[in-house]
């Protein structure tokens, strides 16, 4: 275990040194209810004449896409449309988007949706500037290294942060394995954060996606290295905003002020984790999603507090800071108490939003495989506060199946 930890820390330190001088940037935000009306101006600023609108069938049905279409129509801007992006977009979908972009003679992207539409469009944008490489050949870090077409991201959920991250998660059509294309050039040019578009999101999806954003903030804040002053500030601000607003939008989806705050929090948490990394929570979440198709946000919500409890003393100081920012612990409490109150607050928020305490559907025979995948994803690169080997992952996954390990009321 000591050798594993040491090896991981050395790799993370070297990666941190290499990442420091890179030209990190954020998507430029255009914010507020009705901000989609500024799309023509954004396209003009990029000298784009014909965008490809990439989205999913659900958003077409919900009338969200037609709002953007009418903005483009009113401004006399021609566009092409691809509206067949599925959850966990596949390599085939990315390739179809490339075809539509080429045959429509497009010169920009407008991606409307949750992570899936944005990721699929980013994958297509990457393939267009690297036409000789397949999606599989582009997966991994810094394989694109070319400027992509102007990209406007319009998130309709407050969760993934894809509107400002370097990643595009694409699922292999044959193996069903998720892979990520990660490159600085994939950070969208603009992020349009328009609360009116997320007003109709159902409460359960609002809750799950919001908890995904909180996990990004918490995991990136807890990372051992790689974070910057700005990423840490963004993580704290995002956590505070999520604690203040997530339940408001869960109870009243039409609260545009709270929806707007959540969109900004998701953006900040997205920047924070794309700069600083995620950790063991996401590693288990991806393994669970791969085997059972558990929605990403829901899995994060359930697994986050269990992992934080397992980290124990190693994260008390940082969790105490998060607790103060989130307003869930009085200043008079000890560091340990503040940390435990923060974990408690997550459990309570989950309960109030109808999120389960555990995943009892996890099968005995799958735990080994999940632990193997999670350890493989996490080590050596994730800058986690505590390095876990496969055995430790196994124990925590068993806990995820059973639910909370301890409860120490104050
Ligand atoms: Fe996530």
What CA–CA distance (Å, rounded) separates 216 from 179? 18
* 70 C-alpha to ligand 1 centroid (Å): 32
* 170 C-alpha to ligand 1 centroid (Å): 14
* 289 C-alpha to ligand 1 centroid (Å): 11
What CA–CA distance (Å, rounded) separates 349 from 252? 15
First to last CA, the chain: 33
Residue 27: per-residue pLDDT: 97
Model pLDDT for residues 340-371, shown as the tens digit of each residue? 999 999 999 999 999 999 999 999 999 999 99
* 51 C-alpha to ligand 1 centroid (Å): 28
* 299 C-alpha to ligand 1 centroid (Å): 9
- Residue 116: which of 84, 85, 93 has the closest Cα? 85
Whether omega before 217 lies within 30 degrees of 0, making that bond cis, reads no
* 103 C-alpha to ligand 1 centroid (Å): 33
Residue 225: per-residue pLDDT: 73
Q: What percent of the chain has pLDDT over 90?
A: 81
Q: What is the mean pLDDT of residues 220-232?
A: 87
Q: Enumerate the CATH 3.40.50.1970 domain ranges in the chain, comma separated.
A: 35-193
Residue 176: per-residue pLDDT: 65
Model pLDDT for residues 29-40, shown as the tens digit of each residue? 999 999 999 999
Residue 384 has pLDDT above 90, yes or no: yes
- Residue 370: which of 403, 393, 401 has the closest Cα? 393
Residue 407 has pLDDT above 80, yes or no: no
CATH of the domain spanning 2-18+201-402: 1.20.1090.10
Question: Is 121 within 8 Å of 106 (Cβ atoms)?
Answer: no
How many Cβ atoms sit within 10 Å of the Cβ of residue 200?
A: 12
* 50 C-alpha to ligand 1 centroid (Å): 32
* 47 C-alpha to ligand 1 centroid (Å): 33
Backbone angles phi, psi at 188, to 5 degrees: -60, 155
35-193 belongs to CATH 3.40.50.300:
no
The better pLDDT of the pair 292, 266 is held by: 266
Model pLDDT for residues 60-76, shown as the tens digit of each residue? 999 999 999 999 999 99
Return mean pLDDT, the chain: 94
* 300 C-alpha to ligand 1 centroid (Å): 7
Q: Who contacts 136 (Cβ-Cβ below 8 Å, separation ≥6)?
A: 91, 172, 179
What CA–CA distance (Å, rounded) separates 346 from 352? 10
Side-chain-facing half-sphere of 194: CA atoms under 13 Å: 20
Helix (H) or strand (E) run with residue 120 in it: helix 115-129
* 11 C-alpha to ligand 1 centroid (Å): 23
Q: Who contacts 265 (Cβ-Cβ below 8 Å, separation ≥6)?
A: 158, 213, 217, 237, 238, 241, 242, 245
The better pLDDT of the pair 150, 5 is held by: 150
Q: Enumerate the CATH 1.20.1090.10 domain ranges in the chain, comma separated.
A: 2-18+201-402
* 269 C-alpha to ligand 1 centroid (Å): 10
* 115 C-alpha to ligand 1 centroid (Å): 9
Provide the whole-model pTM.
Answer: 0.94
* 297 C-alpha to ligand 1 centroid (Å): 7
Residue 85: per-residue pLDDT: 96
Model pLDDT for residues 119-176, shown as the tens digit of each residue? 999 999 999 999 999 999 999 889 999 999 999 999 999 999 999 999 999 988 776 6
């Amino acid at each position: 275990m000591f050798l594993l930890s040491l090896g991981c820390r050395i790799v993370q330190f070297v990666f941190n040194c290499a990442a420091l001088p890179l030209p990190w940037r954020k998507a430029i935000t255009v914010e507020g209810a009705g901000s989609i009306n500024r799309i023509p101006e954004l396209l003009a600023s990029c000298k784009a004449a014909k965008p490809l609108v990439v989205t999913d069938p659900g958003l077409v049905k919900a009338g969200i896409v037609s709002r953007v279409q009418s903005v483009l129509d009113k401004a006399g801007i021609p566009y092409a449309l691809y509206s067949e992006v599925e959850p966990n977009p596949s390599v085939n979908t990315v390739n179809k988007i490339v075809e539509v972009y080429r045959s429509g003679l497009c010169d920009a992207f407008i991606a409307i949706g949750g992570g899936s539409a944005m990721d699929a469009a980013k994958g297509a944008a990457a393939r267009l500037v690297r036409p000789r490489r397949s999606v599989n050949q582009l997966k991994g870090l810094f394989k694109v290294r070319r400027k992509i077409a102007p990209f406007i991201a319009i998130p309709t959920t407050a969760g993934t942060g894809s509107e400002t991250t370097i990643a595009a998660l694409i699922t292999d059509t044959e193996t069903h394995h998720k892979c990520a294309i990660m490159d600085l050039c994939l950070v969208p040019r603009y992020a349009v954060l328009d609360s009116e578009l997320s007003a109709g999101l159902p409460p359960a999806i609002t809750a799950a996606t919001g908890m995904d954003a909180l996990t990004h903030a918490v995991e990136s804040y807890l990372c051992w290295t790689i974070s910057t002053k700005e990423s840490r500030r963004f993580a704290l601000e995002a956590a505070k905003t999520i604690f203040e607003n997530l339940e408001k939008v869960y109870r009243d989806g039409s609260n545009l002020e709270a929806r707007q705050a959540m969109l900004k929090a998701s953006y900040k948490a997205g920047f924070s984790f794309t700069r600083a990394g995620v950790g063991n929570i996401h590693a288990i979440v991806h393994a669970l999603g791969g085997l059972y198709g558990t929605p990403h946000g829901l899995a994060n919500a359930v697994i986050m507090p269990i992992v934080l409890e397992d980290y124990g003393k190693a994260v008390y100081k940082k969790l105490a800071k998060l607790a103060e920012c989130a307003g869930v612990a009085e200043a008079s409490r000890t560091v340990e108490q503040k940390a435990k109150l923060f974990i408690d607050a997550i459990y309570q928020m989950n309960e109030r939003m109808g999120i389960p305490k555990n995943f009892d559907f996890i099968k005995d025979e799958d735990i080994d495989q999940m632990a193997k995948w999670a350890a493989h994803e996490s080590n050596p690169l994730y800058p986690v506060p505590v390095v876990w080997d496969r055995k430790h992952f196994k124990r925590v996954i068993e806990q995820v199946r059973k639910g909370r390990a301890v409860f120490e009321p104050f």
